[in-house]
Amino acid sequence: MDFIPIDYEMLRLIWWALLGTLLIGFAIMGGMDLGVGALLPAVARNDEERRVLLNLIGPTWEGNQVWLVLGGGAIFAAWPPLYAVSFSGFYLAMIVILLALILRPVGFKFRGKVQDPRWRSVWDWALFIGGFVPALIFGVAVGNVLLGAPFDLDTTLRPSYLGNFFGLLTPFALLSGLVSLTMIVTLGASYIAMRTRGLIAERARLYGQWSALAAVALFALAGVWVAFGGLGYAITSDYAGAAPSNPLSKTVVQQGGAWLANYSTYPLTLLAPIVGFAGMLGAWGLLRAGRNLPTFLSAAVGIAGIVATAGLSLFPFLLPSSVNPGASLTVWDASSSHMTLFIMLVATVIFLPIILAYTSWVYRVMRGPVTTQSLSKNPNAY
């Protein structure tokens, strides 16, 4: 592999960073839509106001799902053991998320087909579920990663998952789900406040202030739980960052407080939780001040900080095993081959800028407020 200009260890690190970037991208772009959906019953009180919110995210939500597809694809191609364990072990949770997400396109298309208020109310609640449930369950999944998943690997590296769906709903995992939900609702509220006018924007600012404060409090509580709740795993054997992938080649112990080790080893990582707190507190203050664009940017930065905090706390772990810690999957022993990672990196360097450019162009075209007046002039509006 001498002709590959980037060594194996560095490629693994790059793909870990890229995976985090894709997950942050989905948390912001997809989270914006989920947050609006979760706020639909609270912010919009009549049919006209609900149509405003539907047309706020309706033209762009499908494009924002690209980040979810990219994240899943990156896990599949760059970290095959992680994909095998997580997508099979968390299968029922994934199905719940997918069923909730499926309600969104159906709701957008079917809601306006019949004028009956009861018909529209059913689809409004479907759109609410399509925003609320994924926002919560994604956070529950992250909480279970921090706790460690009940899986093992046999001598041929075949995984076996020993848990069940209800075993995922532990107190800490639900707390993580609430952190995810509140930060996404804050982002959704800031987007509504930025792109709408009148009572809808005022209600969004009010709910956004409460969710921002809740996100700060719950994020702090989760940090205290991680520090003093006996959570964490540590590698106790030597490992080679450029060795062939074999998760069983190391020794791991469960060790309370180990998730905080990176913050003392690499002090710059402390920026992630600081940015998480600052972004959410900034969103709260800016919502009170009615500063629309700065509010949205602050909430997005806060989400990036919170997601990065989870990833940096886990590093180099991707998915610890609570049953057999030695089978835990890490950045150094669960990746694809050197060649595969390099070819994928070349493809990413080519296509990711195109996705970013296209997304920027779409939002530039769709810029401006969405109001009941603008809907009356658009015959294609939802």
Query: Tell me: the pLDDT tens digits for 104-121?
Result: 989 988 988 888 889 999
pLDDT (0 to 100) of residue 369:
87
Rounded to whole angstroms, the maximal C-alpha distance in the chain is 67
Handedness of CA 32, 304, 136, 133 (dihedral sign): positive
Q: Summarize the confidence of residues 173-193 as an average pLDDT.
A: 96
Is the pLDDT confidence value at 317 over 70?
yes
| Side chain identity at residue 236, one-letter code | T
State the Cα–Cα distance between residues 97 and 99, nearest whole angstrom. Answer: 6
For the residues of 161-211, what is the DSSP string, one character each? E---SGGG--HHHHHHHHHHHHHHHHHHHHHHHHH--HHHHHHHHHHHHHH
Whether pTM > 0.75 for this model: the answer is: yes
Instruction: Report the helix count and the strand count for the chain, using DSSP H and E.
Output: 14, 6
CA of 196: how far to CAs of 51, 105, 303, in Å? 12, 22, 22
pLDDT (0 to 100) of residue 91:
85
What is the C-alpha end-to-end distance of the chain, expressed in Å? 54
Give which of 276, 342, 281 is closest to 312, Cα–Cα: 276
Q: Summarize the confidence of residues 77-81 as an average pLDDT.
A: 92
pLDDT (0 to 100) of residue 1:
54
Q: Where are the domains of the chain?
A: 8-372
Give which of 358, 35, 379, 352 is closest to 190, Cα–Cα: 35
Q: Where does the pLDDT of residue 2 fall: very low under 50, low under 70, confident under 90, or very high at 90 and above?
A: low
Contacts of 352 (CB under 8 A, 6+ apart): none
Is the pLDDT confidence value at 382 over 80?
no
Find the range with the poorest average confidence among 146-155, 194-203, 299-308, 372-381.
Answer: 372-381
pLDDT (0 to 100) of residue 90:
84
Q: Where does the pLDDT of residue 378 fall: very low under 50, low under 70, confident under 90, or very high at 90 and above?
A: confident
Is the pLDDT confidence value at 231 over 70?
yes
CA of 217: how far to CAs of 180, 231, 285, in Å? 12, 19, 15
Q: Summarize the confidence of residues 13-36 as an average pLDDT.
A: 94
Q: Summarize the confidence of residues 280-293 as an average pLDDT.
A: 93
State the Cα–Cα distance between residues 325 and 254, nearest whole angstrom. Answer: 7
pLDDT (0 to 100) of residue 278:
97
Q: Summarize the confidence of residues 279-299 as an average pLDDT.
A: 94
Q: What is the pLDDT of residues 321-361, one digit of tens each?
A: 999 999 999 999 999 999 999 999 999 999 999 989 998 99
Q: What is the pLDDT of residues 25-69, one digit of tens each?
A: 999 999 999 999 999 999 998 989 899 999 899 888 888 888 888
Across the chain, what does the average pLDDT equal? 91
